Structure 1
Amino acid sequence: MTASLQTTQPQAIVSRSFIEDSLPATADFNEIALISPSVSMNGGVNGTGLSESKAQIRGFQDAEYNITYDGVPFGDTNDPSHHSNTFFPSNTIETLVVERGPGNASNLGIATFGGSLNLFSRATREDASAELKAGYGTWNTWIARAVLQSGAIDKLGGTEIMLSGQHTESDGARSYSPFHSNNVFGKIMIPISPDVKLTVLGTYNENRFNQPDKDGVTASQRDLYGKNFSLNNDPTSQSYFGYNYTHKTTDFEIVKLEANIAPGSTLTNSAYTYSYDNETVSGNDVTLYATATPAQLTAANANLVFLDPAHPKVSTTGVPGYTKTNKYRVWGDIVKARIQVADFLTVTAGGWLEHADTYRQQRDVDLVTLAPNYIEKAVTNPVTGAATPANIKFDQNSKTDHVEVFGEAELHPLPGLTITPGFKHVEFTRKIDAAYNQTTRFAQNISNTYRADLPFATINYAVNERLAVYGQFAKGFLAPPLSVLYVANPQLSSLSPQKSTNYQAGFVYHGSRLSLDADVYYIDFTNKFTSFTSPVPGEGVVFVNSGKAVYKGVEGQATYAFGNGLAIFANASRNYAETNNDNTPHLQLANAPYWTAAGGLLYKQGPIRFSLIDKYTGPQSATGDGNPSYRIPGYNTAILGASYSFGKFRVGVQVDDLFNSTNLTNIAAGKTAQFDQLYYQPGRSVMGDITVTF
């Protein structure tokens, strides 16, 4: 782990060699980022990369920070959350940079708020090569990967092509939870001229897995079946694996043009598109089987379905569940021009345009036959009087349009000193055109536009060639999610974007053997979204800005290289993420660890590669309300990796969760404690692999 001497905010850079040598081949991008200071993670309960995980940065949750791929921000369109194993498995990532802050004005994203995970695509190479990898391990997990490099093709002006394919299968750590994944990736770098380069990349990913939408385990299920219970093989149960399955497909394409337009001046344009399609079938409530006898279940309608819309009170035996669709296509373009005006002044300006179309639906069915199940409450359109079919929870189209324009000036008033003030204007529009809107369940056509003006100022001073200090002031913003438009009277809600004011300062030192950096930060968070039910009859739910929080802490990381292939590293953070409301106690926010720590040793000499790393996540609260029943103790994850090369072959082994920790990592609170969903570490897994390089 290290930071750049030119950084203006805290960061950690994770290299490809660390990904290859120290992490399981199935790792997702959250697992790669986890080793960084102030980064924690929950989820991944089916095994590393075999189910979705969520990362936190300084206590900011997924959807409160950006994730980018080659500079392109991406995320869901109903809120900027992410799917860790859906777009970019580890074979598509060359480097990952964790930035803990909003960055400069030129840092783009819908959530320039809590930081960024910046993924960079696999690099093309000047030399031709081929690499084949096969691995097998715990839970009948196996992976096959191929990476092909064309090298510089003289007949095509030095064009370089990189292709990769990967297939993963596993029975999974949890009961009846198999996982299957396919990924293909391609990248072409075309040197059009000495000053112009065109890069085209694309990746396609497919995941199939068995998992309920409520994917934790209740306390009763844990006591009966163990921490890794998820699904069963009983076709009369909502937890039957044959009734709980998901098929996800994604693609992501970027066309990037980079040109040197004058000495010290560049122009970059990235046009992109990506899509996500989630098709799910799930039991209505798999937690019911945790606490009830068969007689109680029948009394609670858990095994009853209503198949006749003309007689909605007439039931028959069945298994209630639902189908779900969430799919979107995003189009965008990012342009940045960097102009050197004088030796002491460089100006960067540009903009970002993005449009997204989304379709989401959910319908109740009898899981045995997939026939409509008419169980929803009766709803009529308040304008037309039309009745909503009782099997439809929602059927909704939505659109988003996002515009950002920015400018910043990089000033060099003194040798080694860089001062960069900047400004960004953001406009974000959400539109819903729903035949049956979510929650209200009647037709609605709604739109709202959110705006923010964000100032930035950063400073970096190179004290000498090995030591730099930096500071940052920045405003961050987070647009409201689509769910604020799931109300009967949206005109009654008055929402502004959530905003943060960030102050940070730190230093970076790179010696001949020692790399060291540390920082302190203070972030004031305002305009938190909350909702209430209006006391006025007919007004329903209203969203308002009410609530504040403060994030503050200290972070540091160090690496020492002994010079014989051996290096040791350590990092730690003390993080406060507390409510800051008037007349209320200062409580640590939900899923915000009080501290994190990591350490390990790395050895890479001749044919031997060895690493042992451990990440400790400190105690946290699952609910953020101070309830001791939802306090989660600290836990750690240790990973051992070792490999040996001989000739064209390399054999290796990775042991994830070396000490077989199966501790609690998260709690999703239910209506009552008996329905709480508990999430545990899946336990130790071992994978051996062999790599052949040509």
Structure 2
Amino acid sequence: MKFAFSTRRHLLAATAIAYALSITAPASATPTDADAAANAPDGQNNGIAEGSDVVVTGTRANEIAPVTASLKTTQPQSIISRSFIEDSLPATADFNQIALIAPSVSNYGNANGSGLSESKAQIRGFQDGEYNVTYDGVPFGDTNDPTHHSNTFFPSNTVETLIVDRGPGNASTLGQATFGGNMNLFSRATREDASFEGKAAYGSFNTYLLRAVAQTGAIDKLGGTEAVFSTQWVKSDGARTYSPFRSWNIFGKVMVPLGDHARLTFLGTYNVNRFNQPDKDGATQDQIAKYGKYYSLNNDPTSQGYWGYNHTRKTTDFEIIKFEADLGEKSSFENRAYTYSYDNETLSGSDVTAYGHATPESNTVTLTPGSKVTVPGVPGYTKTNKYRVYGDIAKVHLDFGFGTLTTGAWIEWSDTYRQQRDVDLVTMLPNYIEKKVTNPVTGAATPQNIKFDQNSNTNHTEEFVELELRPIPGLKITPGLKHVDFNRRVDADYNQTTRYAQQLSSDYSANLPFATVNYAITPGLSVYGQYARGFLAPSLSVLYVDIPGRSTVQPEKSTNYQAGVVYHGERLSIDADMYKIDFSNKFASMTSPIPGVGTIWFNQGSVQYKGIEGQITYAFPGGLAVFANGSRNYAKTQNANFLSLQVANAPEWTAAGGVLFKHGPMVFSLIDKWTGRQWFTDPSTIVPGDAKSLSSYNFYRSNGYNSAILSARYDLGKIRFGVEVNNLFDSQRVTNINTGKTAASDQYFYQVGRTVTGDITVKF
């Protein structure tokens, strides 16, 4: 690979981690079409995830399509461009809302408005924590399990392109949970030409957004160095009661050429979110009946749900230093050193579900250690969850004519601190309400206001090798192997759940084979297939036990099979696939029947995922296009001791469709996404032959919902006006239910109703 620091440099920058990028036009495409594709200003033709090539043909369909796929892909994928993010989505959208346009992707959350509260995405029914999210090739996630915070690290102003890979990738695809797929975010690209763009938006719930993006262009005195800087500020009252939201983000990226054959890239982003929301969010049926679907907090200072007692500040940063160098005409070396941090400081009522019940809240506290005397007060707690992660990824690509060898390693370690303490929310004095616990070794008593105070660490290494063979023109066969070692350690003064001092650790390892094939039948038609094994280490909670040796839990494992086809014609773009994933060793816990053992963890049964997916775009003359995509997703338990039922939060199908128009100064789109029937409880709770438990499973069910977005933009040169109507048809159905100890404490989440936003963008 040789870096081309020329008119196509911005395409390479747009895919900060793609090591091979090829933009081509089929024979039927005119030179004008190919030129437009190669010079698309908003990153419409971008690379994909690590370990993959990309060919995005310069056709009319691909220029306007909201999602497309690479002709060189070895797994089902959806490439979502910056132009779609700018033209068709609210500026406050988080990355899960961006990804929602892809088939087999669903989500819930955003209950306070688009990007104004966190959301959780699912891919083929795999939940957050069962698939990877990466930013410029770096996997990121929480350190107790690999889950993600959708609006905390990377708001939409920091994202150039998003690619949903619905599969585990190759051996060089890195992350803790590759078997569920990969959501790959790519940072904003630097440009050769200097520019400035400012955006102001105002919409429903008194929501303000201000954004600025500045490009330095190529700086000749610094050898062609390019940089991009962005900042964004959001302020909103929120869709839910007494739930204001504030956010501030800054982002910077500098690309420094080191001669003709190497470059160095520095990237950093910093984000602060402040909002009022209970730690355990959602509205009970009693609260909904009295205060409406969008109840969250109140203005009663005698209540645990008082807005002044429930607030959170989340601060994050993310930094990457990336070095790339040629090792020959088509060989290269790359290295990424990175660090990121997360700090969540929360104050919350202990039980916000009690407000609004027929009986009043039991608002009493114990302010004297060891006393049983209670006094009036408002029980709550403080919570801290903060961590820093350090890592490095090194890869070498060696081309030898009829093949390419890729090998490398990933090392990562983390330090985490977590605590939770009971307080009286009125006085902020300790509330001594926890059960008495003594250390079984030292006999020391745990303070009765401490739920836990815990340090933990992870050490994670992956070594991989893959060999792409090209035996005949158009055919690529890529076997590979990845070795994983994963270690967790807890060093707690007061461990979570047990509440006494513990020093515990667990180690897991696996060898994971991969094999992919891609065959280009014609320049615009290719087929692919994939086989892969997956692995996920148990979460930190397996170390919240009295006797770890009694647990028998092993890592979750998967075996993936899938195949598909991609076609790019001049006006028609289409791809389709089918998949089957056998998933075993599902994690579960229980109280041991042996006295004194307490909680133990074990593996329980398996799940089979299978289905079909597809997406299509057709471009008419004059800038008009229609598109559709959909999936039928089967995600059912395969256990002998209970029925074969769809797992929780796994829609049986998804579908999207719409019309897009781009011509001259006018941009218009109407896009609708449907999420099919799903259940909200774990089917493993069902007792065979027990009609009552099956009835309970079916009670916590949604028959599906949709959300349409109408967007229009008009460009007057340096000024662009826009408006979008989110949830055009005002659907307000249930998207998720968090089940409580009783039905009265179940918490419901609903779609936010119709919202309207207007914006003005100024460009220089």
Q: Give TM-score, length-normalised by structure 2.
A: 0.89
Provide the C-alpha distance between the structure 2 equivalents of 1:585 and 1:495, rounded to a whole number of angstroms. Answer: 23
Distance 1:681 1:110 in 2: 31
Partner of 1:471: 529
Q: What SS does the aligned partner of 1:372 have?
A: coil
Do structure 1's residue 163 and structure 2's residue 233 form an aligned pair?
no
What is the match of residue 659 of structure 1? 729
Pairwise CA distance, 1:647: 2.7
The one of 703, 713, 735 aligned to 1:633: 703
Aligned positions of 1:419-438 closer than 5 A: 419-438=477-496
Question: Residue 463 of structure 1: SS of its match in structure 2?
Answer: strand
Partner residue in 2 for 1:77? 143
Deviation of 1:604 (Å): 1.1
Give the deviation of 1:344 after TM superposition. Answer: 1.1
SS at match of 1:508: strand
- In the TM superposition, what is the alpha-carbon distance from 1:536 to its structure 2 partner? 1.1
- Cα distance, 1:659 vs structure 2: 0.8
1:526 partnered with 2:592: no
Deviation at 1:631, TM superposition (A): 1.0
* 1:407-422 alignment runs, 5 A limit: 407-422=465-480
Identity %: 68
Deviation at 1:561, TM superposition (A): 1.1
- Equivalent residue in structure 1 for 2:383, among 324, 334, 355: 324
Give me the whole-angstrom Cα distance separating, in 1, the residues matched to 2:142 and 2:69: 29
Q: Are 1:283 and 2:349 counterparts? A: yes
1:533, CA displacement in angstroms? 1.4
Cα contact 1:432–1:447 (8 A) shared by 2: yes
Q: Which amino acid aligns with 1:528?
A: K
CA contact under 8 A between 1:219 and 1:676: conserved in structure 2? yes
2:594 matched residue in structure 1: 536
Matched with 1:270 is 336
The one-character-per-residue Cα deviations of 1:151-171 (angstroms, maximum 9, x if unpaired) are 000000000010000000000
CA distance in structure 2 between the partners assigned to 1:531 and 1:652 by the alignment? 51
Q: Which amino acid aligns with 2:367?
A: L
Deviations along 1:200-254, one digit per CA (max 9) or x if unpaired, are 0000000000000121100110010000000000000000000000000000000
Aligned residues between the structures:
686
* 1:275/1:330 contact within 8 Å kept: yes
Q: CA deviation at 1:567?
A: 1.2
Cα distance in structure 2, aligned partners of 1:563 and 1:446: 65
- SS of equivalent to 1:108: coil
Where do 5+ consecutive residues of structure 1 fail to align?
A: none
What SS does the corresponding residue of 2:75 show, helix, strand or coil? Answer: coil
Q: 2:630 aligns with which of 564, 569, 572?
A: 572
CA separation of 1:624 and 1:309: change in aligned 2, threshold 3 A: closer
1:498 alignment counterpart: 556
Once residues 620 and 217 of structure 2 are traced to their aligned partners in structure 1, the CA distance between those partners, rounded to angstroms, is 34
Which of these residues, 448, 468, 474, is aligned with residue 506 of structure 2? Answer: 448
Greater share of strand residues, 1 or 2? 1
The answer to whether the aligner puts 1:671 opposite 2:741 as a matched pair is yes
**Cα deviations across residues 517-565 of structure 1 (Å, max 9, x unaligned)?**
0000000001111112111111111111221000000000001111311
Structure 1 residues 416-440: Cα deviation after superposition (integer angstroms, max 9, x where no partner): 1100000000001000000000000
**Aligned counterparts of 1:454 and 1:488: Cα–Cα separation in 2:** 32
Residue in 1 aligned with 2:58? none
Question: Residues 556-571 of structure 1: matches in 2 within 5 Å?
Answer: 556-571=614-629
Deviation of 1:494 (Å): 2.2
Query: Given residue 328 of structure 1, which amino acid in structure 2 is its aligned partner?
Result: Y
Please state how far the C-alpha of 1:291 moved relative to its aligned partner: 2.0
CA distance, structure 2, for counterparts of residue 223 and residue 659 of structure 1:
23
> Which of 414, 428, 441 does residue 370 from structure 1 map onto?
428
**One-letter code of the match for 1:485?**
L
After superposition, give the CA deviation of every residue in 1:391-447 in whole Å (9 maximum; x if it has no partner): 000000000000000000000111111000000000010000000000000000000
- Which deviations, in whole Å up to 9, do the C-alpha atoms of 1:101-129 show, x marking residues without a partner? 10000000011120010000000000000
Return the match for 2:165 from 86, 99, 103: 99
- The answer to whether structure 1 residue 113 and structure 2 residue 179 are counterparts is yes
Q: Is 1:617 aligned to residue 675 of structure 2?
A: yes
Q: 1:505 is aligned with what amino acid?
A: A
Give the aligned partner of residue 54 of structure 1: 120
1:647 equivalenced with 2:717 (yes/no)? yes
CA distance in 1, matches of 2:748, 2:93: 22
Name the structure 1 match of 2:60. Answer: none
One-letter identity of the residue aligned with 1:443: A
Aligned residue number for residue 345 of structure 1: 403
217 and 336 in structure 1: CA distance in 2 versus 1, 3 angstrom threshold? same
How far the C-alpha of 1:193 sits from its partner, in A, is 1.2
2:372 to 284, 309, 313: 313
Consecutive unaligned residues in structure 2, runs of 5 or more: 1-66, 684-693
Query: Partner residue of 1:398?
Result: 456
Q: How many angstroms apart in 2 are the aligned matches of 1:479 and 1:66?
A: 13
Structure 2 Cα separation of the partners of residues 661 and 191 of structure 1:
51
Alignment match, 1:458: 516
| Residue of structure 2 aligned with 1:135, choices 169, 186, 201 | 201
Output the amino acid matched with 2:387: Y
Partner of 2:90: 24
Give 3-state SS (helix, strand or coil) of 2:674's partner: strand
Q: Point out the more displaced range, 179-188 or 632-641.
A: 632-641
The one-letter code sitting in structure 1 at the alignment partner of 2:611 is: G
SS for the counterpart of 1:537 is coil
Amino acid at match of 1:693: K
Query: Within 1, Cα distance between the matches of 2:77 and 2:611?
Result: 15
d(CA) in 1 for partners of 2:367 and 2:605?
Answer: 45
Deviation, 1:492, is 1.3
- Distance across 2 between alignment mates of 1:176 and 1:662: 19
RMSD of the TM alignment (CA)?
0.7
Give the whole-Å Cα distance in 1 for the aligned partners of 2:356 and 2:703.
24
Residue 38 of structure 2 aligns with which residue?
none
- Answering whether residue 383 of structure 2 is matched by residue 383 of structure 1, we say no
CA distance in 1, matches of 2:669, 2:379: 49
1:303 equivalent in structure 2: 363
The more displaced of 520-529 and 283-292 is 283-292
- Report the Cα distance in structure 2 between the residues aligned to 1:494 and 1:254, rounded to whole angstroms: 38
Distance in 2 (alpha carbons) for counterparts of 1:278 and 1:221:
27
Contact 1:452-1:497 at 8 Å conserved across structures: no
| 1:29-86 deviation digits (Å, cap 9, x = unpaired) | 0000000000000010000000000000000000000000000000000000000000
Change (3 A) 1:316 1:638: same
Structure 2 Cα separation of the partners of residues 647 and 603 of structure 1? 18
In 2: Cα distance, 1:586 partner to 1:397 partner: 40
1:361 aligns with 2:361: no
Give the drift of 1:583: 3.8
**In 1, Cα distance between the equivalents of 2:122 and 2:604?**
23
2-structure distance, mates of 1:290, 1:675: 11
Shift of 1:632: 1.0
Q: Which moved more, 1:238-247 or 1:562-571?
A: 562-571
Check whether the contact 1:530–1:547 (CA below 8 A) recurs between aligned residues. no
CA distance in 2, matches of 1:132, 1:563: 32
Whether contact under 8 Å (1:110, 1:479) holds in the other structure is: yes
Opposite residue 335 of structure 1, the aligned amino acid is A
Find the aligned partners of 1:563 and 1:429 in 2 and give their Cα distance.
Answer: 57
SS in 1 for 2:498: coil
